[in-house]
Amino acid sequence: MAQIEVNDLTFYYEGSFDNIFEQVSFSIDTNWKLGFIGRNGKGKTTFLNLLLGKYEYKGSIRTSTVFDYFPYQIQQEFMEACAADFLEELKVNCEAWRVICELDKMKVDAEVLYRPFRTLSHGERTKVMLAVLFSGENDFLLIDEPTNHLDQESRETVKAYLAQKKGFILVSHDRDLLDACIDHVLVLNRCSIEVQNGNFTSWWENKRRKDSFSQMENEKHRKEIEKLKKASERTRQWADQNEKTKIGFHPIKEHDRSIATRAYIGAKTKKMQSRVKQMEDRISREIEEKEGLLQDIESPAELKIMPLQYHKKRLLLADEYGLRYEDAREGVFDHLSFELYQGERVFLTGKNGCGKSSLIKSILQHSTDMTEGTQNGLVEEGTLRVASGLVISYINQDTSFLKGTISEFCSRRQLDESLLCAILRQLDMERAQFGKRMEEYSEGQKKKVLIAASLLTPAHLYIWDEPLNYIDVFSRMQMEELLLTYQPTMLIVEHDVRFREKIATKIVPIGNRKN
C-alpha cells in the first residue's frame, strides 16, 4: 500500500487561455478502488496522463508506485496479428498464463488470444486488454472509460470483473458501473477537487444535501445583504443631509443655532460616513462568502427540444423484418416485429454486431427514398414501413467526421450558430472551445455538438445511436430531465442501464433467432 500525493499541481496546455489544474492538492491510496468523476473537458484524462509523466507541470506528484493505462494503443501492424504475439509490447514482462487466468475470471475462452486482433469484437478487445492490464503485480491501474461501445452483456462482465479488483482509478460516466466497482470517489467539481469515501450514489446524495444547505445559506446571505444595502442607503442619505446643514442656516427657524455648531455637525457626519463604509465592507464580505458557497453547486440549465407533431399516430412498422448480406445464408437479424407510435421512446437492445445500427440505417434510407431491396450490400426481408414525409433528427455513434470549426459545422448543417453555442453552453461547454477546431475536442465534447445539433432540429422522430458514449454523468441526468419533460418520439440505442430505466417506454431486443 502506497500513497499518491499531489501538491500545488498546476497545468495548462500550450496556447490555452485557462489552467486545467491550478494549485491542486490531495492524496489518494493505491489500495483504493477509486472512481474519477467530472464534466467533459475538466481534465480527467489529462490527470491520468500527468500521472504517466506525459506532460510537464508545476507542483509535485509524489509516489513510489508504477502506473499502467487502459486502453492500450494497438498499433496498426498488430491488428492482423494475434494478441498472444504482442502481449509484451502492451505490458512489459507480461506472461500469457497470467492473462489467460484473468480471462477465465471474465468467463472468456483463451482462444481470443490466438485470433487476429482485428477480428475481435469491441467487447473481446476490451476484455483482452483488461486481462493484460491486471496480469501484473503491484501496479496502480488507470482505467479510462472501459465500457464505451460495449453491449449490456459485456458491460455486466466488465462490471463483475472490476468489482473483484482494487488498486485502480476508474474514469467512467456509467453510474451503474461506478456503484458496483468503487469504494472512493475523486471528483473534479466546478472550482475544487474533493476525495470522498463511498460510491457514486453515496457521493451524489451527500452532494445534493450539501448543495441544498449551500442554497439555503445563500438565501439567508441574500436577505442579509438586502437589509445591509437598505441600512447603508438610509445612513448615507442622513449623512448627506447633515453635511448640507454645515454651511448657512435660517435665522428665524434655527434661532438657537450658532456658527460654532458647524464643527459638531461635521464630526457627526464623518461618524455616519464611517458607518456607511463599514456596512459596504460587510456587504462585500457577505457577497464573497455567498459566492464561495455556490461555486461548486451543480445547477444544470434547463434544455429544450422542439418535436414536430405528425398527422398519424404510427410512425414506423416492422413486420417479420430482417437483414442479411448478399450470398449469406444467415441474416444479420430476422423476424423482427414492432411498431413505433408518437410519444414513445423505443430502445433497441442486443449484443454488439446484432444489427441495431444496420436497422437504423435502413430506417433512414426508407425515410428518404422509400426504396426496398439491396442497400449497402444488405438484402431486406419482410416488411419495414416508415411514415411518408417523416422528419428525422439523427445522431450517429461515430464522431470522426466532425472537422473544422463550430461556425463551419453550422454552415454545413444550416443551423443557427448562436443558438447551437447557447445549447452547448447549457451542456457546460466552455466558451473558449468555440474558437477551436473540432478535431481538438474530447470525444465527450464532440458528442455534445451532435446532441446540440439534434436538439436544435425540429423533427417528428429522433433517432440516437449510442448518444451518451463519453458524455459526463451530469449531462446524462440533464438529458433525462429534458426527455421526460418534452417526451419526443425516439428510437434509441443506448447501453446506460440507468438512462434506459428512466427514459424507455418500450424495449425491442434484436438478435438472430438462432443465437
Assess if residue 104 is contained within a domain. Answer: yes
- Indicate whether 333 and 366 sit together in one domain: yes
Grid coordinates representing 144 are 479510462
Report the pLDDT value the prediction gives residue 261, as an integer from 0 to 100.
62
- Indicate whether 138 and 62 sit together in one domain: yes
Condensed to tens digits (0 to 9), the pLDDT of residues 331-357 reads 788 899 999 999 999 999 998 888 898
- For 173-192, b/e burial (b = at least 16 CB within 10 A) is bbbbbbbbbbebbbbbbeee
User: Which candidate, 3, 27, 1, 22, places its Cα nearest to that of 11?
Assistant: 22
User: Which candidate, 205, 130, 168, places its Cα nearest to that of 33?
Assistant: 168
Phi and psi torsions of 107, nearest 5°: 60, 40
Assess if residue 304 is contained within a domain. Answer: no
* Amino acid at position 408, single letter: E
Calculate the alpha carbon distances from 197 to 145, 174, 202, 247 in Å. 21, 18, 9, 69
- Indicate whether 123 and 223 sit together in one domain: no
Q: What angle do CA 391, 341, 466 make, to 5 degrees?
A: 65
- Indicate whether 250 and 357 sit together in one domain: no
- Indicate whether 359 and 475 sit together in one domain: yes
Report the pLDDT value the prediction gives residue 1, as an integer from 0 to 100.
66
Q: What angle do CA 135, 122, 326 make, to 5 degrees?
A: 145
- For 133-144, b/e burial (b = at least 16 CB within 10 A) is bbbbeebbbbbb
Assess if residue 514 is contained within a domain. Answer: no
Residue 299 near residue 39, CB atoms below 8 Å: no
Alpha-helix runs per DSSP H in 309-403: 356-369
Assess if residue 116 is contained within a domain. Answer: yes
Condensed to tens digits (0 to 9), the pLDDT of residues 258-285 reads 555 666 666 766 777 777 677 777 766 6
Grid coordinates representing 262 are 458647524
- Indicate whether 83 and 217 sit together in one domain: no
Domain with 253 in it: 207-294
Grid coordinates representing 69 are 493505462
Pairing of strands 506-509, 490-493: unpaired
Pairing of strands 66-70, 139-144: parallel
Assess if residue 480 is contained within a domain. Answer: yes
Assess if residue 176 is contained within a domain. Answer: yes
- Indicate whether 173 and 93 sit together in one domain: yes
Q: How far is CA 485 from the centre of its chain?
A: 20
Q: Is 403 exposed, middle or buried (0-12, 13-18, 19+ CB in 10 A)?
A: exposed
CA atoms of 239 and 243, how far apart (whole Å): 6
Residue 419 near residue 453, CB atoms below 8 Å: no
Domain ends where: 203, 219, 244? 203
CA atoms of 83 and 89, how far apart (whole Å): 10
CATH number at residue 460: 3.40.50.300
Domains held by the chain: number: 3
Other CB atoms within 10 Å distance of the CB of residue 27: 12
User: Which candidate, 472, 29, 467, 495, places its Cα nearest to that of 483?
Assistant: 467
Residue 313 near residue 342, CB atoms below 8 Å: yes
- Indicate whether 361 and 443 sit together in one domain: yes
Report the pLDDT value the prediction gives residue 160, as an integer from 0 to 100.
95
Assess if residue 496 is contained within a domain. Answer: yes
- Indicate whether 175 and 284 sit together in one domain: no
On average, the pLDDT of the chain sits at 86
- Indicate whether 176 and 278 sit together in one domain: no
Domain ends where: 259, 294, 329? 294
* Amino acid at position 210, single letter: K
Report the pLDDT value the prediction gives residue 374, as an integer from 0 to 100.
43
- Indicate whether 72 and 165 sit together in one domain: yes
Grid coordinates representing 469 are 458514449
Assess if residue 135 is contained within a domain. Answer: yes
Calculate the alpha carbon distances from 469 to 162, 325, 494 in Å. 19, 28, 8
- Indicate whether 352 and 212 sit together in one domain: no
Q: What is the dihedral of CA 289, 295, 296, 299, to 10 degrees?
A: 120
Report the pLDDT value the prediction gives residue 370, as an integer from 0 to 100.
41
Report the pLDDT value the prediction gives residue 376, as an integer from 0 to 100.
60
Report the pLDDT value the prediction gives residue 514, as an integer from 0 to 100.
40
Report the pLDDT value the prediction gives residue 332, as an integer from 0 to 100.
82
Domain ends where: 245, 263, 294? 294
Q: Can you list the residues of the chain whose pLDDT is less than 50?
A: 370-374, 513-515
DSSP 117: G
Calculate the alpha carbon distances from 60 to 18, 23, 28, 190, 242 in Å. 20, 10, 14, 22, 60
Give all strands of the β-sheet with 184-188 in edge-to-edge order: 66-70, 139-144, 168-171, 33-38, 184-188, 193-197
Radius of gyration of the chain (CA): 31
DSSP 433: G
